[in-house]
Amino acid sequence: MLTAMTEAVSAPRRQLLAALGLAATGARAGAAPGVLRCTLAELPPFAMAAADGRVRGLYLDLLEPLARAVGLELQLQVGPLSRAAHDLNLGASDISVMLPNTGLGPAVRSLGPAFTLQPVMQPRAGLSLRSVSDPPELHLVALAGSARWGLLPPGSRHRVTYVGTPQAMTGMLRAQRADAALAVRETLRYGLLRWGMSAADLPPLLLLTPLVADVWLRPGLDEALVRRLGEALGALVAQGLPQRLLRRYGSL
């Protein structure tokens, strides 16, 4: 059963978790027996918190069977991207799924790749894009936190407005208050659907360099558990679960 946690963890408590989590014994600091703690970045459709507090999403649909495969219950909380990385760094979260370059410390370990995601640049109605830099100066809209993903080439002259939700991002595109949206394809599709739109209503989009989302583990996690998780993830990938989930959520 999924346990949703919404309470904030105080700074002293985080420090204690970090100290315990990095102990040489590798004990899972602050975790109840049989629990695998997870903080996910709230990013539809990868992780979404409903009004009743329940969480669903593509990342969760991989992590739940992964936890079950090693006999553990997933204890989940969602928050900003920075918090998901912060909790892993401090040992307040045992596991997460996220893209690289998101503030992870050098001691955080990758269990392996989970999803290959396709970033896109979607122009507004009436605008055609020839490349990422042509036209050279555009007003883009993207989700907060995505600047760390390296979606734009170095030296880009585009101006980017960062917003909090996919619906706000595609709302700016719909109202032509931005020239193009910058997002992974599944998030763009989710945001367009909130307005009753699809990519077919807009000019052709540009495909950017694909990004790989890994399963990440906190420092000091028990090595026997790490091996079991690695074997379970390998089995799920071999069974094609990540690809099936991308197809399912891509059709939302």
In the chain, where the domains are located: 3-116+211-250, 119-207
pTM, to two decimals: 0.82
Which of 37-41, 52-56, 154-158, 200-204 is predicted with the least confidence, judged by mean pLDDT? 52-56
Both tokens of 9, joined, read 């963890």
Q: Mind listing the pLDDT tens digit for each residue in 175-227?
A: 999 999 999 999 999 999 999 999 899 999 999 999 999 999 999 999 999 99
Q: Tell me if 94 sits within 8 A of 75, measured CB to CB.
A: no
Cα–Cα distance for residue pair 153/35, rounded to 1 Å: 41
Residue 119's identity, in one-letter code, is: P
Fold match, 3-116+211-250 / 119-207: yes
Antiparallel, parallel or unpaired: β 95-98 and 211-217? antiparallel
Residues 6+ apart with CB under 8 A from 207: 118, 119, 120
Q: Could you say which of 3.40.50.150, 3.30.365.10, 3.40.190.10, 3.40.50.300 is the CATH number of the domain covering 119-207?
A: 3.40.190.10
Q: Please give the class, per CATH, of domain 3-116+211-250.
A: alpha beta
Residue 34's identity, in one-letter code, is: G
Q: Mind listing the pLDDT tens digit for each residue in 60-84?
A: 999 999 999 999 999 999 988 889 9
Mean pLDDT score of the chain: 86
Q: Mind listing the pLDDT tens digit for each residue in 9-24?
A: 344 444 433 333 333 3
